[in-house]
Structure 1
Amino acid sequence: MRFLFVHQNFPGQYLHIVSYLTKRQHDVAFLSEPNTNFMANVRKISYVSPRASDVRIHEHAREFEVAVRRAEAAANAARQIKALGFQPDIIIGHHGWGELLNLQDVFPGVPILGYFEFFYSLVGQDVHFDPEFPLDQKRLPMVRSKNAVNLLALNMTETFGQTPTSWQLSTYPAWAHPRIHLLPEGVDLATCSPAAPRASRRLTLPDGFRIEPRHKLVTYMARNLEPYRGFHIMLRALPALLAARPDLHVTIVGDDKPGYGALPEDGSTWKETFLKEMEGKFDRERVHFLGQVPYETHIALLRRSDAHVYFTYPFVASWSLREAMAIGCAIIGSDTQPVREFITHEETGLLAPFLEPGRLADSILRLIEEPKLAQKLRVGARAYAEAHLDREAYLDAYATLIETLTGQSLAPEREPESRPAKRRLKT
């Protein structure tokens, strides 16, 4: 079969399904904005990155304007590969960036499987969740406008959707649910596996500090250190936590960059803001800010962790939660909808109220001081991952969905003895 994948940052979340397909001798082309990433046996076609318009655009329409320009650029690139003879059997991509919107005009009748990640709302989700950071009433229309691409995508012909969690599906209007397939994403259970029983509990951190067997280690990870992922709650839990356990160290992994929410009004970063608030309130020598770390370090930290914290607003759950469960971490998660889909209290982890730092500190201390409970939760988390987060099962389900939408089999075909040379696509 011939596949056209589309994502502005190749390969995006499609790395594993693309590898799955190319190993089975399927023909894969990938439309993306230019970058240096490479995958064997994948033809990457770059389209020109959209530029902001010279015309003054209303601030609530800026994201949509960029999405429309990206859709135009992607369609122009698609016309070029069509002229070279490439006709996909299916198009797969992320609806959030706008790239898929015009491809139905280029390849009419070709099924499009689009990733529906999140449908924004003013009620019951991330907006207004944290009373400490109320949204200016003047910005409410901007939230509604963020669904423009979502709504256009749901109105496209020959379009089908996928989303990874029941929570994310629930954010979409009920009338859209029949169009969106629930396709839970998985992790590599071999790579994300628990530490060996006799593994050393010594670990040298990227900052040079050495965690010894006598130390208790609490881990916290986020792509960016921001309120959406409970960074402020984590920092405010530290004074009580560190005072109760002189043997305890904390590692905090994450970039000090803009993330999902707004930046502080004074132009600083959230890390700077909250460290200033907490200045002098906890022992900085025992809190290790590591920035972003290599994946191997990420795994090593989770394997050594005595208690792992994962907090989030009612928003999209991070990959790190899935990986922590597969590794068998003793997890304290926020008692919010996306986390409750993975964590059952006292079975696969502990749940703590998002807005209460004291309850978070108590939950961490409980895991450290009740080793039998911690071990029970480790076993439960790994068992959940094996039952629900196996990447191989995810890829097989993905393949079944593709076969259903195209009416074709993904079974690898025998390579013919002689095959005409393919026309080279411009990249």
Structure 2
Amino acid sequence: MKLLFVHNNFPAQFRNLATALAGDVRVQMAAIGSDTARAMPGVSLHRYADVAPHTPAHSFSRRFDGETRRAEQVLYAATRLANDGFIPDLILVHPGWGENLPLRAVFPKAKIVVYCEYYYRAEGGDVGFDPEFPSIGVDGAVALDCKNASTLLALASCDAALSPTRWQKSTFPQDFQHKITVIHEGVDTDLFAPDPGAVLNLGDGLRLTAADEIVTYSARSLEPIRGFHSFMRTLPRVLEARPGAKIVIVGDDGVSYGVPPRKHPTWKAALLDELRGRIDERRVLFLGRLPYADYRRVLQISSAHVYLTYPFVLSWSLLEAMSVGCLVIGSDTAPVREMIDGDNGLLAPMFDRDALAKTIVGALADPEAHAIRRVRARNFVRDHFDARGVCTPKLIEWIGGLAAPRRLHEPEVGLAFPPRVEALRASGR
């Protein structure tokens, strides 16, 4: 079987699948990605160069204009692959950047699977959720609809689609939901495991362990869509109520999804300015982006981990924190409620700073009362989101079924589980 991944930032959500299949001699894999794509063993990577727009586009079509220019580069890369004899049986593509647009024309016989991460809408999602920010207006709503153009074209022509969570699937138009199967890519529960002896060395003699009282927060970027502003506004009360506590914050100062603040270079600067004189900044440690090993140690020493998000794409970090056995305090929003039910973590209103602070303080005040939630959190992730033992075998079986009908005359129909995956599957993991 020949499998083609198309993702500008490959491997991204396809990493676990590509890793599992890399040792299967019956599977040939190739990937098309932009200059940011990273090579992986067993996958032939073909990069394309982004082309900047040469002419201005209407604000409604600006995103689609960029997507079509990217699609042109993917067209060239896919054509070169075809000319070299690589004709995929199945293609896995993320449609969010327009890379899907030329694939059916170049590979008309391939089964195409679209990764459905999120569908933009003016109501019920991230837009309009936060009362702190103004409405986008009618023009904004039209522009938001236009952001879905490439995704809609992908859904119209694909053979099947994939979404990581039930809530993310629910954001897509009802007419297309019958095409979408929910299978998460999973997390490495062996890597993200509890370690009571973990030590986080931060230099200058600062050494943190699980014996310390640590409130942790992590996000790719410190911005409102991940509740950074709400979390920061709890700190005056949390630090006052828990004089021995330290706050450890992981994340980049930039913006990944939203917009920067008007009067400050970053949301971190804006919130620190807002809270100046009300918190002891020496107890609030901003670590920036961390290597995976250090990030894991942050989770392993956490007394309470705060994960907040608008109704938007669920972060891997929530499942990683639960896998480590963190006591997670999550926002009472739909994506989080799919994972946290009160028995395996705590929920709190995202914009009620007093209630959120009270939940954090309560968790710190009586850790023994919440010890069982830590155990349940890890068990929940191991049972449902373990990459090697649950999610990847399920995904291999699913895509093997998609590819099999076209290859019924061949003895090696579909995909077999690599030995490591088969062993875990047989053990019930």
TM-score, scaled to structure 2: 0.91
Once residues 244 and 231 of structure 1 are traced to their aligned partners in structure 2, the CA distance between those partners, rounded to angstroms, is: 20
Once residues 51 and 232 of structure 2 are traced to their aligned partners in structure 1, the CA distance between those partners, rounded to angstroms, is: 39
Once residues 404 and 283 of structure 1 are traced to their aligned partners in structure 2, the CA distance between those partners, rounded to angstroms, is: 57
Aligned to 1:120: 120
Q: Please state how far the C-alpha of 1:204 moved relative to its aligned partner.
A: 2.0
Q: Please state how far the C-alpha of 1:375 moved relative to its aligned partner.
A: 0.2
CA contact (8 A) 2:93 2:100 kept: yes
Once residues 181 and 195 of structure 2 are traced to their aligned partners in structure 1, the CA distance between those partners, rounded to angstroms, is: 35
Letter in 1 for 2:271: F
Cα RMSD (Å): 1.7
Once residues 370 and 63 of structure 1 are traced to their aligned partners in structure 2, the CA distance between those partners, rounded to angstroms, is: 49
Q: Secondary structure at the match of 2:251?
A: strand
CA contact (8 A) 2:200 2:294 kept: no
Taking structure 1 as reference, are residues 246 and 267 closer, same or farther at Cα in structure 2, changes over 3 Å only? closer
Once residues 293 and 134 of structure 1 are traced to their aligned partners in structure 2, the CA distance between those partners, rounded to angstroms, is: 33
Q: Does 1:358 align with 2:359?
A: no
Once residues 211 and 170 of structure 2 are traced to their aligned partners in structure 1, the CA distance between those partners, rounded to angstroms, is: 45
Aligned to 2:149: 148
CA contact (8 A) 1:325 1:385 kept: yes
Q: Does 1:30 align with 2:31?
A: yes
Paired residues for 1:47-58 under 5 Å: 47-52=48-53, 54-58=54-58
CA contact (8 A) 1:326 1:382 kept: yes
Q: Secondary structure at the match of 1:205?
A: strand
Letter in 2 for 1:261: G
Q: Does 1:106 align with 2:102?
A: no
Aligned to 1:270: 267
Q: Secondary structure at the match of 2:60?
A: helix
Q: Please state how far the C-alpha of 1:136 moved relative to its aligned partner.
A: 3.3
Aligned to 2:223: 226
Q: Secondary structure at the match of 1:60?
A: coil
Which stretch shifts more, 58-67 or 106-115?
58-67
Q: Please state how far the C-alpha of 1:258 moved relative to its aligned partner.
A: 1.7
Once residues 417 and 280 of structure 2 are traced to their aligned partners in structure 1, the CA distance between those partners, rounded to angstroms, is: 58
| Aligned with residue 252 of structure 2, among 252, 255, 260 | 255
Which stretch shifts more, 79-88 or 325-334?
79-88
Aligned to 1:296: 293
Give 5+ residue unaligned stretches, structure 2.
405-412, 419-429
Q: Which runs of 4+ in 1 moved over 4 A?
A: none
Q: Please state how far the C-alpha of 1:404 moved relative to its aligned partner.
A: 1.2
Taking structure 1 as reference, are residues 133 and 206 closer, same or farther at Cα in structure 2, changes over 3 Å only? farther
The percentage of aligned residue pairs carrying the same residue is 41
Q: Please state how far the C-alpha of 1:290 moved relative to its aligned partner.
A: 0.5
Paired residues for 1:326-405 under 5 Å: 326-345=323-342, 347-392=343-388, 393-405=390-402
Q: Secondary structure at the match of 2:263?
A: coil
Aligned to 1:187: 187
Q: Please state how far the C-alpha of 1:45 moved relative to its aligned partner.
A: 1.1
Q: Does 1:134 align with 2:139?
A: no
CA contact (8 A) 1:162 1:182 kept: yes
CA contact (8 A) 1:207 1:288 kept: no
Q: Secondary structure at the match of 2:255?
A: coil
Q: Please state how far the C-alpha of 1:35 moved relative to its aligned partner.
A: 4.0
Q: Secondary structure at the match of 2:144?
A: helix
Q: Please state how far the C-alpha of 1:179 moved relative to its aligned partner.
A: 0.8
Q: Please state how far the C-alpha of 1:388 moved relative to its aligned partner.
A: 0.8
Letter in 1 for 2:160: F
Q: Please state how far the C-alpha of 1:231 moved relative to its aligned partner.
A: 0.5
Letter in 1 for 2:299: L
Aligned to 1:282: 279
Question: Residue deviations 1:47-82, cap 9 Å, x none?
Answer: 231221x22201222111111111121112111111
- Work out the number of aligned pairs and report it: 407
